[in-house]
């Protein structure tokens, strides 16, 4: 009986895959491919998901990504690209793209670069911003990639396009903005993304990416996101750059990728550090200055006192 059952089961197994293979679902049948699938933007789509795809990216996600979301990008997401991570990566999201947000660019969003969408890469994630797309995430994608989105990665959004996601810049969205992509988001890019760019950032995005967001990326975030690391834009994890990757897009990276941090890390700090040291280190000279007291002590009046 077991043999007969297995024989019956095997043909049924062959029939089932043939049904799944049915040409009914094929690229040509794109129409049958429901819109919901397009917006769902799966990780495999991530790479193909480019700025042009941004529009196809479901509107609910785009609008959902607002400056307020930026703050949602929290340090816990930092590793992922966070300020709150990445697309969401807003000033409040520091680690994500703010210290608190951490590198993830959105702690809550994690690699999805959006809590729910994850690989799908939500508006905050930006269209091109998927793990594979990370490298593709370029200035041209900027429009899709709004400051608030970070990898959207903006100063406020930091790390998921933010620290954890590192170069690709979005921990949460890891997929298009993945660690491997991190490199595509190279330190050189960091500098190119400057405060001035924020304003140049297209008008429609401008509102999302508001100057206030830049400030939201606060100094406290700065430390995690340090200037020296900026260029590396996340030491090792940069490529992985997922919420867990937060380190890859760690606060230390922040500096390279945030104009606001530039000011924090200013030459004035260097000088301010030195002056106090120079003057403060003068006691030995004062001791030498006291040496003339010896001769004055041996003055005639002093000798008379000693003789008495």
pLDDT at 202 (0 to 100) = 42
Residue 233: partners with Cβ closer than 8 Å, 6 or more residues away: 166, 167, 169, 182, 185, 186, 187, 189, 190, 249, 253, 256, 257
Residue 208: partners with Cβ closer than 8 Å, 6 or more residues away: 65, 66, 67, 146, 147, 148, 149
What is the domain extent for residue 103?
41-53+62-186+238-247
Contact between 142 and 79 (Cβ < 8 Å): no
127 is a domain residue:
yes
pLDDT at 128 (0 to 100) = 45
Q: Which two tokens stand for residue 163?
A: 């620290």
pLDDT at 306 (0 to 100) = 82
pLDDT in tens, the chain (308 residues): 666 655 655 544 445 544 454 555 544 444 444 444 444 454 544 444 444 444 444 444 444 454 444 444 444 444 444 444 444 444 444 444 444 444 444 444 444 444 444 444 444 444 444 444 444 444 444 444 444 444 444 444 444 444 444 444 444 444 444 444 444 444 444 444 444 444 444 444 444 444 444 444 444 444 444 444 344 444 444 444 444 444 444 444 444 444 444 444 444 344 444 443 444 444 444 444 444 444 445 577 877 888 88
pTM value is 0.09
d(CA 45, CA 123): 15
169 is a domain residue:
yes
96 is a domain residue:
yes
Phi, psi (deg, nearest 5) at residue 158: 35, -120
pLDDT at 301 (0 to 100) = 81
pLDDT at 300 (0 to 100) = 77
Name the H helices within 22-82: 37-40, 45-48, 53-56, 61-64, 69-72, 78-81
What kind and span of H or E run contains 17?
Answer: helix 2-21
d(CA 281, CA 284): 8
d(CA 163, CA 182): 10
pLDDT at 302 (0 to 100) = 77
Place of tokens 């008495």: 308
- Cα–Cα nearest to 232, from 252, 259, 258, 260: 252
151 is a domain residue:
yes
160 is a domain residue:
yes
Task: Compute the radius of gyration of the chain from its Cα atoms.
Answer: 29
SS3 225: coil
106 is a domain residue:
yes
pLDDT at 6 (0 to 100) = 56
**Other beta carbons within 10 Å of 271:** 9
d(CA 149, CA 283): 54
pLDDT at 304 (0 to 100) = 84
Distance of CA 216 to the CA centre of its chain: 14
156 is a domain residue:
yes
Overall number of domains in the chain: 1
15 is a domain residue:
no
């Amino acid at each position: 009986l077991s043999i007969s059952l297995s024989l019956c089961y095997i043909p049924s197994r062959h029939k089932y895959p043939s049904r799944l293979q049915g040409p009914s679902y094929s690229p040509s049948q794109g129409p049958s491919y429901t819109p919901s699938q397009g917006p769902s933007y799966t990780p495999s789509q991530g790479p193909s998901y480019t700025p042009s795809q941004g529009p196809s990216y479901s509107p609910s996600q785009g609008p959902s990504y607002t400056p307020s979301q930026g703050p949602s990008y929290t340090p816990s997401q930092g590793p992922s690209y966070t300020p709150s991570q990445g697309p969401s990566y807003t000033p409040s999201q520091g680690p994500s793209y703010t210290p608190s947000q951490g590198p993830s660019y959105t702690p809550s969003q994690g690699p999805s670069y959006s809590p729910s969408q994850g690989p799908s890469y939500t508006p905050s994630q930006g269209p091109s911003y998927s793990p594979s797309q990370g490298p593709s995430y370029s200035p041209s994608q900027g429009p899709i990639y709004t400051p608030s989105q970070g990898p959207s990665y903006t100063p406020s959004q930091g790390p998921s396009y933010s620290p954890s996601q590192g170069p690709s810049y979005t921990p949460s969205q890891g997929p298009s903005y993945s660690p491997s992509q991190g490199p595509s988001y190279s330190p050189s890019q960091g500098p190119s993304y400057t405060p001035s760019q924020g304003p140049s950032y297209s008008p429609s995005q401008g509102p999302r990416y508001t100057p206030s967001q830049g400030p939201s990326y606060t100094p406290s975030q700065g430390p995690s996101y340090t200037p020296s690391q900026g260029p590396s834009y996340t030491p090792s994890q940069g490529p992985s750059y997922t919420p867990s990757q937060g380190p890859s897009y760690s606060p230390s990276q922040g500096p390279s990728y945030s104009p606001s941090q530039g000011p924090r890390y200013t030459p004035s700090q260097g000088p301010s550090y030195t002056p106090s040291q120079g003057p403060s280190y003068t006691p030995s000279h004062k001791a030498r200055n006291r040496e003339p007291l010896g001769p004055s002590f041996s003055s005639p009046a002093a000798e008379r006192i000693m003789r008495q």
